[in-house]
Amino acid sequence: MTFFNVVTRGLQRRPVRTGLTLLGISVGIAAVVALIGLSRGLLTSWTAGMKSRGTDIVVHNMRGSLTPKPFPASTRDRIANVPGVTATCELFVDFMSIENAELMIVSAREWGCFAWQNLKLVSGRMPNDQSERAVVLGTSAADILKKKVGDTLQLETAELTVVGIVEGGAFVENGSVILSLPLLQEITGNQGQINAIDIRAAQGMNDADIRKLCDQLSKLIPEARAEPAGEHLVDTEGYRVINAMSWGTSLLAILVGVLGVTNTMLMSVFERKQEIAVLLALGWRRSRIVRMILLESAMLGLLGGIIGVGLGVVGVHFLQNAPAIRGMLRPDLSLNLMATAIGIAVCVGVLSGFYPAWRSSRLTPSLALHG
């Protein structure tokens, strides 16, 4: 028998209580995995979407919200010819309720710009020109909207024809309703307005060069801001709110887990008072008793973490199909996130064990001779 066996036997003593405590921690960790996975997924999905379009830099004005605020299309004229900028594409990207779908990504693109080039037709055709009252749907968007080529799509007050289904090479692209920029400007009454400019930088530019170029562009356009693709989301108010809410909810769930483990370990120590006193009478050092309780607690955390990650992965698959976010993001369930979640769970276990361990170290061995 090893000391590890001693620790595990302590947990096996009350299997139902141990199981319920594990469930408590697991739910907390599952919340971490699901919520943080989704919020990180938002970032990685949008970054992947931009990368698939070949975008290196995004010009936007979305500090205060998740969706970019409109700015004049003429902004592009001031940056298009800056050395290092090889191509630009004006966009108007918005989240809109379309027919029965609660929230869809609507991506209006300057006709003929590079952002159309990554779209591969799965069926149908591309719009004939920028004035054709037509849209193409990403494969997921077509699935969510239950549309096929030839169907009509109600976008606000306009009735548009679905002329093609496309594969965009990224989750966000596949979840988008894509149309020409002038068409959406007309439908939404935003003539002359855009809310993003995708920029392709010159080949061979490294990250540092791109950052420098962003600084240079930002100085030229005080009404907007140029940032490397993907990073522009991180600094936005909207993303911060989502991130903060994810962590806030997760921490709340973790706190419940901490209280659960503390309660379990305290009960375990109180129940085992005499047993601990016997161990002391048999020559165990107080430090070993403390280690035993802390290890039991850490073990609860570890097991709860592993189960929680499993629950989180399952939960996230349900969440990503929720009507509000379906097709907009793919959860980022990286190994890093899972390891972080398990690490948090172990910390929760150890943290929860401190007080019970301290209480156990205060027990007097003379209790062994009573009862």
Partner 1 sequence: MNSNASQSQRRSSTFVFEASGLTKDYDDGQVHALRGVDCKIAEGEFVAIVGPSGSGKTTLLQMFGALDRPTSGTLSYRGESLLDLNDVAAYRAHEIGFIFQAFHLLPTFTAVENVEIPMFEDNQSRTARTARALELLKSVGLEQRANHFPAKLSGGERQRVAIARSLANSPSVLLADEPTGNLDSENAVHILDLLVDLHRERRTTLVLITHDMNVARRASRAIQMTDGRVVFDGDPAKLSSHP
Q: Which residues bind partner 1 (CB under 8 A)?
A: 1-3, 5-6, 9-10, 12-13, 274-275, 278-286, 288, 364-366, 368-371
Q: What's the rounded Cα separation, in Å, for the pair 240 and 313?
A: 23
The CA distance from 188 to 191, in Å, is 8
Q: Compute the least distance from the CB of residue 22 to partner 1, in Å.
A: 18
Q: Tell me the residue ranges of DSSP E strands in the chain.
A: 57-60, 71-72, 85-98, 101-109, 120-124, 134-138, 152-155, 158-167, 176-180, 193-194, 196-201, 225-228
Gap between the Cα atoms of 310 and 300, Å rounded: 15
Mode of pairing for the β-strands spanning 158-167 and 134-138: parallel
Nearest-approach distance from CB 287 to partner 1, in angstroms: 9
- Of 9 and 148, nearer to partner 1 (C-beta) is 9
Min dist CB 303 to partner 1, Å, is 17
Q: Which is nearer to partner 1, 44 or 297 (CB)?
A: 297
Looking at beta carbons only, is 252 or 369 nearer to partner 1?
Answer: 369
Q: How far is the CB of 282 from partner 1 (least distance, A)?
A: 4
Which residues, other chains included, contact 343 with Cβ-Cβ below 8 Å and sequence gap of 6+? 305
For the bound state, the minimum distance from the C-beta of residue 366 to partner 1, rounded and expressed in Å, comes to 4
C-alpha span between 64 and 68 (Å, rounded): 8
Strand partners, 109: 91, 180
Count other C-beta atoms under 10 Å from residue 303's C-beta.
21
When the beta carbons of 4 and 358 are compared against partner 1, the nearer one is 4
Nearer Cβ to partner 1 (2/206) = 2
Closest CB to partner 1 among 57 and 300? 300
From the CB of 19, what's the least distance to partner 1, in Å?
Answer: 16
| Nearer residue to partner 1 within complex by CB, 282 or 335 | 282
Distance CA 239, CA 249 (A): 15
Taking the C-alpha atoms of residue 66 and residue 68, their distance in angstroms, rounded to an integer, is 6
What contacts 31, CB < 8 A, 6 or more positions away? 249, 250, 253, 254, 312
Least Å from the CB of residue 13 to partner 1: 5
